Amino acid sequence: MHTIPDPDSPQTTIERITLLYAMEAEGMPLVERLKLTEQPAVDPNLTQRHFAGTVGTVSIDLLMNGVDPRCGTDRIGTDAATLAGFIAIRKFAPDLVINAGTCGGFQARGGCVGDIYVSEGDCLFHDRHIALPGFALQARGQWPVTPAKHLAAAMGAKSGIVSTGNSLDTTPEELAFFAQYRVAAKDMEACAIAQVCGQCGVPFVAVKAVTDLVDHPEPASEAFLRNLRTASALLSESMERGIRWLGAHPRRVGDL
């Protein structure tokens, strides 16, 4: 049984929210909707882009992982996500962290391209294979997320289990894992950030928009590239509704 610091009291008022995005295509639509302004880099040695603003009663800090200077591509995956989560907590001391982005969904569990999911239960790692005694929980992750059924309702989103890995494609073993744990959204960042938030005692929620269906025969890469822009636009609409709901009047962690 893993131990984490006691979570923030449900009575904690949410005054500062950090939004973490991996890809600029996912995050920029919300920057534009909320009219956030770009800030100086959080660290001169890192590629992250920082945008900030105020929506009603809440202050917003939005971080995108930026572009890998060696590859010219967005910095996706658990390494960049872990770093972003740690830096965000240390720099902004948020009352709530939301990791937003795109994901694979599952038609076997009613998923469709364009669906929005808000995390529930525990976040998982599906591609960590550590065949050593005592390492099963570390491999699986199983980091809890903050219950957020009211936020999901405000967003018009579904709720579901989110599982994280570093590959776009899926193995047969991972498909069995998804079925066993009834995973609704497969992404590349959420559980890494959930782990950092869990260790630091910061409330955490993931919000994911489906670009492709994991259990569909079409290659994930083709569906992802075709649907990224549409799914990101739908994500930004839902995120704007959620952020404006959070900022409409003072809300507590227990109100999520």
pLDDT for the residue 12 = 86
Asked if 130 contacts 91 with a C-beta cutoff of 8 angstroms, the reply is no
| Alpha-carbon distances of 112 from 26, 63, 109, 126, 217, rounded to whole Å | 18, 27, 9, 21, 14
- All residues at 6 or more sequence positions from 133 whose CB lies less than 8 Å from its CB, including other chains: none
The pair of three-digit structure tokens given for residue 237, joined into one six-digit string:
């609409």
Please report which confidence band the pLDDT of residue 11 belongs to, taking 50, 70 and 90 as the band edges: confident
Asked if 64 contacts 49 with a C-beta cutoff of 8 angstroms, the reply is yes
Q: What are the pLDDT digits (tens) for 180-226?
A: 999 999 999 999 999 999 999 999 999 999 999 999 999 999 999 99
Asked if 201 contacts 85 with a C-beta cutoff of 8 angstroms, the reply is no
pTM above threshold 0.85: yes
Please provide the distance, in angstroms rounded to a whole number, between the alpha carbons at the two ends of the chain. 26
Q: What are the residue numbers of the active site?
A: 26, 212
Q: What are the pLDDT digits (tens) for 15-47?
A: 999 999 999 999 999 999 999 999 999 999 999
Asked if 217 contacts 109 with a C-beta cutoff of 8 angstroms, the reply is no
Tell me: domain 16-251, CATH 3.40.50.1580, correct?
yes
How large is the greatest C-alpha to C-alpha distance in the chain, in angstroms? 51
Asked if 18 contacts 90 with a C-beta cutoff of 8 angstroms, the reply is no
Domain ranges of the chain: 16-251
